[in-house]
Structure 1
């Protein structure tokens, strides 16, 4: 097959109505409790908890995780006065479909990855890239 691994995708394709970050936490291995490392870069993985701003999103699709590989915890954009969440945009996103068979019946889910986190519409100094995040990984249907 010509397509191998994750597929590049634009932030606006995944989150056409925008996204809001709730927080960032390290991804740990369930059994060893050690930090999970990105297979491509060897860097620690960080999970950004995200609320999809799409008013049509329901259930599991409303809250997702986007994983970023970085030496240090990615810095989220500053809070916006009057908003309960931080608007966020992800740089160099990719998506990898997979079969989630943990429920009553198998379904297609999506693992989301990004190489950086920034303020929506921001660039340059306003952008907050994860240092050396050359092969990040994450998840659209928290899987």
Structure 2
């Protein structure tokens, strides 16, 4: 079976980040030409600008917990709001894909997502994904 280079595999967020992920920051990605000049990176499939979402992954357990998830968009994606008592912003990536590549004899993965959002709250999960407001409207 031949798999073309650069193929993006769909991967479930919970499989990649079983303990969740937390945004540290978002910055524009850049490419460099052979003369060392940098230009804003563009996604080869969509032509949109590429943004690097710096995250920390608590499931890494003592290893390098930092990772990058790339998002292609015309404007800089905005991370979810911070939550009281947490030093980072919890995030869920929608449309998560992985692209395998070889570097220094090891297989590595580049992660991309269509968008990021705040995770559903525990209350929403317990109610089948409905917010308190929608539950009140349904009860009325």
Please name the residue that 2:116 is paired with: 117
- Say which one has the larger Rg: 2
Aligned residue for 2:81, secondary structure, equals coil
> Aligned equivalents of 2:76 and 2:42: distance in 1?
13
Aligned residue for 1:54, secondary structure, equals helix
C-alpha deviations, 1:62-95, integer Å up to 9, x for none? Answer: 1000000000000100011111100011000010
> Aligned equivalents of 1:65 and 1:55: distance in 2?
14
Matches within 5 A, 1:119-134: 119-121=118-120
Matches within 5 A, 1:91-110: 91-101=94-104, 106-110=105-109
Which blocks of at least 5 consecutive residues in structure 2 are unaligned? 122-140
Q: Which of residues 28, 45, 53 is equivalent to 2:50?
A: 45
Please name the residue that 2:138 is paired with: none
4+ residue segments displaced more than 6 Å:
none
Greater relative contact order, per chain length (Cα 8 Å cut-off, separation 6+)? 1
TM-score (normalised: structure 1): 0.76
> Aligned equivalents of 1:20 and 1:72: distance in 2?
21
Q: Which of residues 33, 50, 61 is equivalent to 1:56?
A: 61
Matches within 5 A, 1:19-30: 19-30=21-32
CA RMSD of aligned residues (A): 1.7
Please name the residue that 1:71 is paired with: 74
Higher helix share: 2
Please name the residue that 2:39 is paired with: 34
Please name the residue that 1:12 is paired with: 14
TM-score (normalised: structure 2): 0.78
